[in-house]
Structure 1
Amino acid sequence: MRRNERGSQPSRIFSRCGGHERTNKLTSKELQKENDLLTQRISELERSKFELRQAEEALRASETKFRMLYRSITDAFAAVDMTGRILDCNESFLTMLGYGAEEIGRLTFRDITPATWHRMEADIIRDQVLVRGYSDIYEKEYARKDGTVFPVELRTTLLRDAKGIPVIMWAIIRDITDRKQKEEALRKSEARYKRLAENSPGVVYQFMMDDEGRYSFPYINEKLLAVTGVSSLEATHDISVFTGRIHPEDLPKFHADILASATALAPYHAVFRFRREDRYIWLEARSTPERMPDGSTLWDGFFLDISERRQEREELLRTQFAMDRAPDSVLWVDDEGRIIYANDTACTWMGFTREELLDMKIFDLDPDFPPSQWEEHKQLMRNRGTMTFESHHVTKDGRTFPVEVRSNYFEYGDRWLTCAFDRDITLRRQAQEEREQLIAELQKALSEVKTLSGLIPICASCKKIRDDRGYWNQIESYIREHSDAEFSHGICPDCAAQFYATMKKP
């Protein structure tokens, strides 16, 4: 088209049709309209060109970001064609498998996958990837260049061309070796925990209190039946089968302790009586609470039948009470001579506190027992089991008093111990000394009496004795004056018979 210099004149439009030139005449109004349309079209083209340039720049920026993400992502990325040949991958994928970029490009994903997984993965591609364009997350294994096999997790996505034909599959692959190891460790731990729970001497349980204060046993092991006579099935189905057997006097504290533990999320510890058949046993419960998302509280713990232990403790306390208050001193001594127990009497007699005695050795109390004889004494104790001997003890103020020691050997494991019962024999010693003195005096008196009888003249008829002055005295008077002897008078059987016979004569 060619514009006329004078807009009021028609313009000629030349065109060729069938090889012939044809001229069309347009009015200026029509020409202006054509010109406006052309200007508008040029503007649209310019705008489209600008938008295309912006889109290209955005695409380049996006591609740059994608490449940066693609190269720096910690998880492995790989793309394969529909034959399985690896087209592209990031550095993480290469590092994971130990291949170089050129080496990996000559392989298919089947080459790096152990044969045991081929059929499974083919089924996933056929049934999931080709049908809906992606797979569920699945697990399999890869084989590294050095031959080691390790587990991976991936999801495969399909790309199609403009005609809808599948051309590329890509996936993000994660090495799950650590996770598998942790899962295996957890599985073993759970199995070990289950074995421990089932073989535990106590009852292992999970106890729950919901946000309305209702109780339940989510889990309780089979040991419950052996300990309480209630089966775990009964208790998990209806906890009142268990709580209904708690002693009525202990039940209020049982509830209060649970509430306090739940409120403070503090460890739970309780001891209560539980009815088993026609008798009560003592149970001790320990557990740790945890708040659940729904507001309930869950305790993990165990309880034990402590009836025997409690009885043994009571017996031990009674024995301890008796030992502490025994009238004799009681000392336990270890293999080095250290005093490891002293009763109240030992403290009273020797004037030391119990703490002071427990910081001493037996050699500090017994001056007759030097440390050099200790090993010999230990061997004698081991051979004989029991020894009784006399010795001395020294009090805190330095006074020494005699004691009779009855020492008993006791071996606990490999530990040498002796329990010594010490008796203060001060009064016995005094009595012995007095008796010995009396015996000496009596022996002396008897000796003097024998001397007199050998020298004194006695009448053959009346039995009077003549003293050194020539006087005749009754025998008892003479002996009383010349010795410490005393007489008591009686009558012998012969004289009595004669006397009574005389009395009976008319």
Structure 2
Amino acid sequence: MDMKDKSKEQLLEELDKLKKEYDSLKQLHQKTIEEQNLSIKQIRDIIEYNPISLQIVDKDGYSLLVNESFKLLFGAVPQKNYSVFEDLQIKELKYDYLFEKLRGGESVRFPDLYYNAHEVDISVPDTPVWIRMIAFPLFDADGVPERFVLMHQNISERKKTEKALRESEENYRLLLELAPDAFFQGDAVGNFIMANKRAMTFTGYSEEELLTMNMRQLFSSSELNKKPLRFDLLDKGEIITAEREILRKEGSTVIVEMTSRKMPNGTYQSFMRDISERKVFEKTLIENERKLKTIIETSPDGIAISALDGTVQFVTNQIVSLWGYSSSEEIIGRNVLEFVDEVHRDKASYLISEMLKGNLTGAAEYVMLRKDCSKFYCESNANVLHDSNNNPVGIIFVNRDITLRKQTEFELIRAKELAEESEAKYRLVFENAPLGLIHFDSKGRIISCNEEFVRIIGSSKQALEGLDMLKLPDKKIVEAVEISLTGGLGHYEDYYHSITANKTTPVQVLFAPIFTNEKIIGGVGIIQDITERKKSEEVLKEQNEEYLALNEELLQTNEELYKAKRLVEDSEAFLMNIL
């Protein structure tokens, strides 16, 4: 039906309908424009207030828009003649291929950049920063890249933290490598994941071999049956110190003192110290009963003897002093368990009963009580004394104050955890280590030293720091330092006379190099005061000489008796012939 066939009313009705549709479309168009404007504003707000630096550039790399974070990061708005695609710092790093990918429509992530905006705009402060940059294209209606968005993140603090962590880990590893004890680290089931050089010489295995082994493989089956590894106690947070016999690669055995604990990351760490010499010394004490009193009185450890029921019968002066009493009369007649803190009293009672049954219990650690009720850590070795018929008649206890050692162990373990977090906490370990520690530069000059080193030398930090060790009169020290500065380990053991203090001290020293980028920048020295060891060696030497003299006297007496016997026999024979 054409226009002629329609009535006026129909035409007006259709016109009204079209007008309503137009008004509806107009409102929809207006709403769409408002939503677009709102979206554009939201996008601009997102760009402007985004904490990440944002930059939009055209297809030639010239800046179209930057946000406030960009200005804060780089210090200014890019100049009009600056194209990011022509940035010389980025070109020198040969990242042009990444820009080519970006222009080709790919999103790209640049390696971390050490960037200085001052080289682009001299009005900007000369302050380089580490940045992480990600870029992606914006496409036109035909799918062709026409603009590019660059996002920058300041990672300078992260880089500083990573550097500090690396240096802290290197220092920690160096301390472990120079430690006199063997160090092992195992995973949650005891498989080794780390060991120091001392552990390799200790066990006879190479590093590659150890990293394929489990802790249990260092012990024989009989040793594990007698003393199982107590992972259950470690999991409860206990620090376990026990004497064990390890099996070396070539089949020999070594008695060690093993201290273990579980770390916060779920791994286990153990330090092992060779105590074979101490065990030989204890055996010698038992075998030489006629020298027992002399050895007891000259022993650096405190020694007590009790009856089988625990009643104290004899104590050395060291025990009197160690337990905080004025005389032995205050101790003799009391039960030995009275001097053990109640937290370890049941343990001590149990180990004594096991020892009386013939089971070797080895050294044990206890918390002991002094007269004034103060407490201290004690390592106690005990054994049964026998008469000439091998009947048990008493118990001998050898006590050693290990409070300092336990405190040192706790401090070192804690210091290790802190050293992994920061260099400042590593310095705490350095200053409070139980061994003397020094740092020296590539010319052999002491840069820093701890208080223990100052104590050993008997001088002061002011006199020691800056000292040129290559000019010392002791040529053996000079030679050891020179070895470390050429990449080796320098060793020194002798009576050292300090030139900064009128003091001579027997010391054992290890010098080791410190490398940076395969270049020796100095070294570290670990110094141990061996005065007590030297004293013990002198005592043993004197006792050995006394023993040899007594033996010689006995041989002479036997010879005289033999001559006298022959004389009597000859006289009897002569008389018989006369009769």
Q: TM-score, normalised by structure 1?
A: 0.51
Cα deviation, 1:398-425, whole Å, max 9, x if unaligned, reads xxxxxxxxxxxxx998x9xxxxxxxxxx
- For the pair shown, the structure with the greater C-alpha radius of gyration is 1
Match of 2:210 among 219, 228, 235: 235
Match of 2:59 among 77, 82, 98: 82
* 1:110 Cα deviation from its structure 2 partner: 5.9
Counting aligned pairs with the same residue, the percent is: 18
| Structure 1 stretch displaced more, 310-319 or 48-57 | 310-319
Separation of aligned partners in 2, 1:221 and 1:75: 44
* 1:126 Cα deviation from its structure 2 partner: 0.7
* 1:125 Cα deviation from its structure 2 partner: 1.3
Separation of aligned partners in 1, 2:331 and 2:226: 44
- What does 1:55-66 align with in structure 2 at a 5 Å threshold? 55-66=32-43
Where does residue 344 of structure 1 map in the other structure? 328
Match of 1:271 among 203, 226, 243: 243
* 1:153 Cα deviation from its structure 2 partner: 0.2
Separation of aligned partners in 2, 1:62 and 1:309: 82
Separation of aligned partners in 2, 1:95 and 1:330: 73
Separation of aligned partners in 1, 2:177 and 2:314: 50
| Structure 1 segments unaligned to the other structure (5+ residues) | 1-9, 11-23, 292-296, 335-339, 349-353, 357-410, 416-506
Change over 3 Å in CA distance of 1:259–1:243 after alignment to 2: farther
Tell me the SS of whatever aligns to 2:95: helix
Letter in 2 for 1:183: E
Separation of aligned partners in 1, 2:176 and 2:318: 43
Cα deviation, 1:100-143, whole Å, max 9, x if unaligned, reads x4x644533367x553645533210113x123431135322321
* 1:55 Cα deviation from its structure 2 partner: 2.4
* 1:226 Cα deviation from its structure 2 partner: 0.9
Matched, 1:141 2:125: no
Separation of aligned partners in 1, 2:42 and 2:278: 72
Change over 3 Å in CA distance of 1:328–1:311 after alignment to 2: closer
Tell me the SS of whatever aligns to 1:96: helix
Tell me the SS of whatever aligns to 2:109: coil
Separation of aligned partners in 1, 2:63 and 2:275: 68
Separation of aligned partners in 2, 1:187 and 1:55: 56
Where does residue 96 of structure 1 map in the other structure? 73
Letter in 2 for 1:152: I
Where does residue 286 of structure 1 map in the other structure? 260
* 1:290 Cα deviation from its structure 2 partner: 4.1
Change over 3 Å in CA distance of 1:151–1:313 after alignment to 2: farther
1:141–1:149 Cα contact (<8 Å) kept:
yes
Matched, 1:258 2:231: yes
Cα deviation, 1:259-304, whole Å, max 9, x if unaligned, reads 2323x3554544322233333322313232346xxxxx42244333
Where does residue 130 of structure 1 map in the other structure? 103
Q: TM-score, normalised by structure 2?
A: 0.45
Change over 3 Å in CA distance of 1:81–1:239 after alignment to 2: same
Matched, 1:121 2:95: yes
Tell me the SS of whatever aligns to 1:209: coil
Matched, 1:71 2:55: no
Letter in 2 for 1:60: N
Matched, 1:220 2:164: no
Tell me the SS of whatever aligns to 2:84: coil
Tell me the SS of whatever aligns to 2:112: strand
Match of 2:84 among 106, 109, 126: 109
How many equivalent residue pairs? 314
Separation of aligned partners in 2, 1:114 and 1:233: 46
Separation of aligned partners in 2, 1:86 and 1:53: 32
Change over 3 Å in CA distance of 1:68–1:347 after alignment to 2: same
1:275–1:281 Cα contact (<8 Å) kept:
no
Letter in 2 for 1:274: I
Change over 3 Å in CA distance of 1:76–1:328 after alignment to 2: closer
User: Alpha carbon RMSD of aligned pairs, Å?
Assistant: 4.5
2:59–2:146 Cα contact (<8 Å) kept:
yes
Where does residue 203 of structure 1 map in the other structure? 182
Letter in 2 for 1:344: S
Separation of aligned partners in 1, 2:296 and 2:7: 125
Change over 3 Å in CA distance of 1:158–1:273 after alignment to 2: same
4+ long deviations beyond 6 Å? 34-37, 310-318, 323-329, 345-348
| Structure 1 stretch displaced more, 190-199 or 81-90 | 190-199
Where does residue 564 of structure 2 map in the other structure? none
